[in-house]
């Protein structure tokens, strides 16, 4: 059997857009992905539909996946002929144990590539407004592990050389050893007044920064209850923060939101929200699988006078199936209609002029193209459009591969908001929340429920949500113009 290949990929520090182009291409061609806790789950969305996703972090019923088990899994999957991606937070060569994994692969003659990533020791300070070098403050920079393999886990460092030779020092995962670090830096010549910043969850909206000095930072970190993952940056360069910090000024910075989606067809606002500074957990993840064209429909394609596409996905899969069944598009003689404006673009890209369903006449045989529907949904179409044929060219379902990633994301976050854009999203959330570790009746009362239309708000209210106010626009909310004070429209159950 042909051996596969392993890509040891740096995923960057958290912001999913900080991955390299080569890293992203590796994800897209992977058959198997082993990913760490600090990898942004959004990167997994670029994987193929049948890619196996393996979480290497802490599961609810077990400890961390040991390095030996990770090594063994990489070998087994590669020897079975798969393309494997080992997706690691930050840069794999900076305290990422990539050398150990590469050695195992080399020992077994398994082909591999190492794809660098942006390391958190540089990215987290930048997102806190601090470049690690600056002509006025620092011309040297060092990255130091705050843990090692010693019995007590305290770093065995050339403290004197570090203090004498480096102006900016980044300690990785150093919260538990922060007192030891500060004491040794002072003992070996650093001034107790040297500025220090500890940055937790750097590049995420949950990013939190605590600024102090070598003599005061330990107490400040304790007072703010800061834990790992965190970067500790030591040096005069910290003084640049007040002037050039940018990320924390975004309008939705600090918002950790669950975006509930009732189906794969619902338009996602994730990119809008992230661009405004929010962390967003899509809940749940949906997948789409292609359906078929019934023989009866195929034989009648040239006879239909009207074709109505219910979603953009229906457009894509309908024409995929025409190609699959080798049906010439020129057979279509019908007038084309769609329910959503976005579908117009997809149809016009194929050279088909179309109109919205509101403008559809009532004459002639009708084919409706969409997803696989339940009986009550079909009844609604019968009631609205009368006699017609229906082609379920695709179906959507919850993608269970993302269950672990979603649960882990919810555990790591301090959720501030849940956003509903449709009534289906409310129903799905209420039905699936317990599965993902959310107890509906014990939600933190400070969590805000956001509803984008009056109808959605009414659906949420039927589940026991109490309203505070309604969104100004009943149909669409432009998040680029919203700030936090205008965003919330309901409180949680109470």
pLDDT tens, the chain, 494 aa long:
789 999 999 999 999 999 999 999 999 999 999 999 999 999 999 999 999 999 997 544 455 688 899 999 999 999 999 999 999 999 999 998 899 999 999 999 999 999 999 999 999 999 999 999 999 899 999 999 987 666 666 778 899 999 999 999 999 988 999 999 999 999 999 999 999 999 999 999 999 999 999 999 999 999 999 999 999 999 999 999 999 999 999 999 999 999 999 988 887 889 999 999 999 999 899 999 999 999 999 999 999 999 999 999 999 999 999 999 999 999 999 999 998 888 999 999 999 999 999 899 888 999 999 998 876 677 788 888 899 999 999 999 999 999 999 999 999 999 988 999 889 999 999 999 999 888 776 567 778 888 888 888 889 889 887 654 444 443 444 444 444 444 445 544 44
Q: Which of 87, 95, 91 is nearest to 42 (CA)?
A: 87
51, 138: one domain: no
308, 406: one domain: no
387, 404: one domain: no
78, 146: one domain: no
135, 243: one domain: yes
Contact between 52 and 74 (Cβ < 8 Å):
no
CATH of the domain at 352: 3.40.50.10090
Domain boundary among 398, 423, 458: 398
Domain boundary among 381, 398, 415: 398
319, 388: one domain: yes
> Which residues constitute the domain of residue 172?
122-249
Distance CA 304, CA 293 (A): 14
Contact between 193 and 215 (Cβ < 8 Å):
yes
Distance CA 245, CA 284 (A): 34
203, 238: one domain: yes
353, 372: one domain: yes
Distance of CA 68 to CAs 72, 100, 157, 291, 472, Å?
Answer: 6, 10, 27, 42, 55
pTM: 0.86
- Please list the active-site residues: 36, 58, 173
């Amino acid at each position: 059997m042909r051996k596969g290949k392993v890509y040891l990929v740096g995923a960057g520090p958290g912001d999913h857009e900080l991955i390299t182009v080569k890293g992203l291409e590796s994800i897209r061609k992977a058959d198997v992905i082993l990913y760490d806790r600090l990898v942004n789950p959004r990167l997994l969305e670029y994987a193929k539909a049948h890619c196996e996703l393996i979480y290497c972090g802490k599961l609810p019923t077990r400890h961390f996946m040991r390095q030996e088990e990770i090594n063994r899994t990489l070998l087994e999957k590669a020897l079975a002929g798969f393309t494997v991606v080992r997706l690691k937070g930050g840069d794999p060569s900076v305290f990422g144990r990539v050398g150990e994994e590469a050695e195992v692969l080399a020992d077994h003659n398994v082909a591999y590539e190492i794809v660098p990533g942006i390391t958190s020791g540089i990215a987290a300070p930048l997102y806190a407004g601090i470049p690690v070098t600056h002509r006025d403050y620092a011309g040297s920079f060092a990255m130091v592990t705050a843990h090692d393999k010693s019995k007590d886990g305290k770093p065995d460092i050339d403290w004197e050389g570090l203090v004498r030779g480096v102006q900016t020092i980044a300690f990785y995962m150093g919260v538990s050893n922060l007192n030891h670090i500060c004491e040794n830096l002072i003992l070996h010549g650093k001034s107790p007044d040297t500025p220090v910043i500890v940055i937790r969850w750097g590049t995420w909206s949950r990013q939190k920064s605590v600024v102090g000095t070598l003599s005061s930072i330990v107490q400040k970190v304790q007072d703010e209850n800061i834990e790992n993952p965190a970067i500790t940056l030591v040096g005069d360069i910290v003084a640049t923060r007040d002037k050039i910090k940018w990320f924390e000024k975004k309008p939705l910075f600090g918002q950790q939101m669950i975006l509930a989606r009732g189906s794969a067809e619902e338009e996602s606002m994730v990119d809008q929200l992230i661009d405004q500074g929010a962390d967003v957990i899509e809940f749940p993840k949906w997948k789409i699988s292609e359906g078929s064209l019934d023989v009866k429909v195929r034989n009648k394609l040239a006879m239909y006078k009207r074709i109505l596409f219910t979603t953009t996905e229906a457009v894509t899969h309908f024409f995929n199936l025409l190609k699959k069944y080798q049906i010439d598009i020129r057979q279509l003689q019908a007038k084309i209609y769609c329910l959503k404006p976005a579908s117009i673009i997809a149809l016009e890209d194929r050279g088909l002029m179309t109109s919205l369903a509101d403008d559809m006449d009532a004459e002639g045989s009708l084919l409706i193209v969409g997803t696989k529907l339940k009986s009550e949904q079909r009844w609604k179409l019968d009631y609205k459009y009368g006699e017609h044929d229906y082609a379920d060219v695709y179906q959507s379902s919850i993608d269970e591969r993302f269950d672990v990633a979603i649960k882990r994301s919810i555990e790591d976050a301090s959720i501030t908001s849940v956003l509903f854009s449709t009534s289906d999203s409310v129903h799905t959330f209420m039905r699936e929340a317990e599965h993902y570790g959310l107890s509906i009746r014990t939600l933190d009362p400070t969590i805000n429920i956001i509803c984008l239309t009056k109808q959605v708000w009414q659906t949420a209210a039927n589940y026991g949500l109490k309203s505070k106010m309604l969104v100004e626009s009943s149909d669409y909310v432009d998040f680029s113009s919203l700030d936090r004070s205008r965003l919330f429209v309901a409180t949680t159950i109470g």
